Amino acid sequence: MPRKRVRLEHAVEYLSILDEKGRVDEKLEPQIDKETLLDIHRTMLLSRRLDERMLTLQRQGRIGTFAPAKGQEASQVAAMAALTGNDWFVPAFRETAAMLWRGTPPENLLLYNAGYSEGGAIEEGTHDLPISIPVASQIPHAVGIGYASGLRERDEVTITFFGDGATSEGDFHEALNVASVLKTPVIFLCQNNHWAISMPRGRQSESRTLAQKGLAYAIPSLQVDGNDVLAVYSAVQEAAQRARDGEGPTLIECVTYRLTVHTTADDPSKYRDEEEVEKWQEREPITRLQTYLKKKRWLSDKQIDKLEKEIEEQVDEAWKTAHERIESLNDSQVIFDHGYAEMPDYLESQRQSFADRLKEGE
């Protein structure tokens, strides 16, 4: 009867291993082999340069609106690198770097952003979902996929990406609760990039951390420095192990920053100061990783220059391929394809009249 305290043992850990100055906490340093780290670095750099090229192409009117990943490459690539190709990847709409790690050809990203659904094609058997634009709507899918992995006795972990804004949506909360109740092998990776279009993190939620939202559902949850490849890798590796051991979901809040526009249709000068961006530019993930790799003597400035050239050529080549494909894609009838396994006859007749062009569709 008396008023008493319900004790909850809750705290949110913040994990940082490689700091802005390139200093490492050796006790926490994960053992990642040289080849993997260099691959991570290469993918992050490719993502950055592809983003830059896409920005130019968009300004030239050659491709449409897209959401750059600039600044968030560590959160994406290190997370994917800690998983296997057999694990499931459920992205939101800003995961260019993660998609590249998964093997999405850059020309497909260009093609998609140029407005051709062919660029979104996913090979059968691939454990990747397409980008998901409605905020937070993909999060429940990850829970379903994870539960199915369990039911089908597959050794698969599912990771889903979403932003700080997404944690305000019902889909996020419902999915977390269900995942916890069903103990599904899912990693919820929140990229807190501090902005949801014009809404700063501080106004999105009064919660001190976004990670603590997981604690409400009894999901182990932590914050990591999202611009720190080593911290993100360690956190995801640990979460994946828990998932594989049948211990259920984890929520990881990667604290990072959106270094550029929300999308190419957005003008951040309306709502944020350049000073804030500059401050975060210093914590930028790629230079930080390069410092680390250089200290280990796994990467030199000369090698970086060489890599930059290779990537430039790769991006040129990707645009060339995408462009050639665009030129060859001149039959708009494909808009009728893939609606159903079998095209119903009313739709077939719409397609037919579209093909005839002169007859009015019946």
Partner 1 sequence: MAELNMADALNLALNQEMENDESVVVLGEDVGVDGGVFRVTDGLLERYGERRVIDSPVAETALAGVSVGLAINGLKPVCEMQFSGFSYQGFHQMEAHAARMRWRTRGGHTVPMVLRMPYGAGVHALEHHSESKEVFYAHTPGLKMVIPSTPRNARALLVSAIRDPDPVVFFEPKAVYRAFREEVPDEEETLPLGESRIAREGDDLTMISYGAMLHRTLEAADTLAEEDGVEAEVIDLLSLSPLDHARFAESARRTGRVVIVHEAHRSFGPAGEIMARLIEDAFYYLEAPVRRVTGFDTIVPLFAREQAYLPDQERILAAARGVLND
Annotated catalytic residue, options 262, 283, 288, 292: 262
In terms of CB distance, is 245 or 362 closer to partner 1? Answer: 362
Q: Binding residues for partner 1, how many (CB under 8 A)?
A: 47
Q: Cα(59)–Cα(82) distance, rounded to whole angstroms?
A: 35
Cα 157 to Cα 29, 144, 186, 215, distances in angstroms: 23, 12, 6, 20
CB neighbours (10 Å) of residue 10?
10
48 catalytic, yes or no?
A: no
In terms of CB distance, is 134 or 361 closer to Mg ion? Answer: 134
Q: Does 134 bind partner 1 (CB under 8 A)?
A: yes
Annotated catalytic residue, options 258, 283, 288, 292: 258
Q: Cα(296)–Cα(315) distance, rounded to whole angstroms?
A: 28
Q: How far apart are the first and last CA of the chain?
A: 72
Q: Does 241 bind partner 1 (CB under 8 A)?
A: no
Q: Cα(40)–Cα(46) distance, rounded to whole angstroms?
A: 10
Q: Cα(350)–Cα(321) distance, rounded to whole angstroms?
A: 32
Query: Whose CA is closest to 13, among 228, 237, 247, 215?
Result: 215
CA 159 to chain centre: 10
Q: Cα(241)–Cα(220) distance, rounded to whole angstroms?
A: 13
Q: What angle do CA 214, 215, 220 make, to 5 degrees?
A: 80
- Taking the complex as a whole, how short is the minimal distance between the CB of residue 190 and Mg ion, in angstroms? 9
Placement of tokens 């499931």 in the chain: 88
- Taking the complex as a whole, how short is the minimal distance between the CB of residue 283 and partner 1, in angstroms? 25
- Taking the complex as a whole, how short is the minimal distance between the CB of residue 114 and ligand TPP, in angstroms? 20
Q: Does 166 bind partner 1 (CB under 8 A)?
A: yes
> Which of positions 24-83 make contact with Mg ion (CB under 5 A)?
none
Q: Which of 42, 129, 168, 182 forms a contact with partner 1 (CB under 8 A)? A: 168
Q: Which residues contact 29 (CB under 8 A, 6 or more apart)?
A: 17, 230
- Taking the complex as a whole, how short is the minimal distance between the CB of residue 329 and Mg ion, in angstroms? 33
Q: Which of 138, 193, 256, 290 forms a contact with ligand TPP (CB under 6 A)? A: 193
271 catalytic, yes or no?
A: yes
> Which range in 36-44, 73-81, 122-130, 162-170 contacts Mg ion by CB under 5 A?
162-170
Q: Cα(320)–Cα(330) distance, rounded to whole angstroms?
A: 17
> Which of positions 100-139 make contact with ligand TPP (CB under 6 A)?
133-135
Q: Which of 10, 34, 154, 359 forms a contact with partner 1 (CB under 8 A)? A: 359
Helices (H), the chain: 34-59, 73-81, 96-101, 106-113, 139-151, 170-182, 201-204, 212-215, 229-244, 274-281, 285-295, 301-328, 345-356
- Taking the complex as a whole, how short is the minimal distance between the CB of residue 228 and partner 1, in angstroms? 26
- Taking the complex as a whole, how short is the minimal distance between the CB of residue 99 and ligand TPP, in angstroms? 14
Name the binder of 65 from ligand TPP, partner 1, Mg ion, none, CB < 5-8 A by kind: partner 1
Placement of tokens 């400035």 in the chain: 301
**Contacts to ligand TPP by CB under 6 A:** 94, 133-135, 162-166, 193, 195-197, 258, 262
**Contacts to partner 1 by CB under 8 A:** 64-66, 93, 112, 114-117, 133-136, 165-166, 168-171, 196-199, 203-205, 263, 265-266, 270-271, 326, 329, 332, 334-336, 339, 346-347, 350, 354, 357-361
> Which residues carry out catalysis?
258, 262, 271
